[in-house]
Structure 1
């Protein structure tokens, strides 16, 4: 039986590349995005691909997307928390609602989705959780205070989860890419 992977932010950049790679290796892929119709056709393993509408800033959307995936493929063997948004602006200039929106997507959305898939992974004593962060998850940068703050929070949470999940056979990986041309904004 093929392994199942849930990937957020799967319509472009690292998420799209990860989805294509997983399909090429025989995985079943749930490709989550706010705009799943934008998942470009590839031809490789389309029968193993489920584009999912999922807005990580909306808990109801996350629950519905996860339910649709589980109905079709079952619980995921792996989760790639890749979705994120970036916001430019000096620390004192970023509007509170914009900062909250960025935290909802980049941090709280990933946390809640991870918490939703953990029970099934614990029950089968295995799974892999991947958090796509940034090299800015370890340092600050002018004009990117909101983004850096969300990635610092995500990395701290994921590092703690690494220790909590290990006894259940669940791996936790943080990826910290630098600057890439992915269309991220």
Structure 2
């Protein structure tokens, strides 16, 4: 499901989703936590895997391991941040944890960033963090797209990958060799 805002500039996203058979949920522009909650509630989700559009290099192998960890350990919130390059990780939370966050997370940063109530109040949740292979540890490397520099790096990596899938280890190596 693509969960985007109801702002008119996102009409093109909804149109793309409709054209490609992808579910699209439209919600609050500034209250992202509410958007996620309303989307998950309307679709009856029990667990939510959160991937964001500014992170085009999600590590699918680590995502599969993250899902396994979340399910097997029964965590409320499970993430793969802090070791992988910025923008490569993912997170999962239960609907119950999302509901609590939605109900109790009142600070502006809780509403803008879906995971911040979990990280601000870890004593309230069973939290798991994925251990990643040593070859993929590079938390100082930015593989997100938040700045012009990030965009240039992402374009260069995509051009080098061509039609091939670009793994995290390869991205780290390519960025290290071009530094």
Give the TM bin, normalised by the shorter chain. Answer: under 0.3
Q: Which has the larger radius of gyration?
A: 2
TM-score (norm: length of structure 2)? 0.28
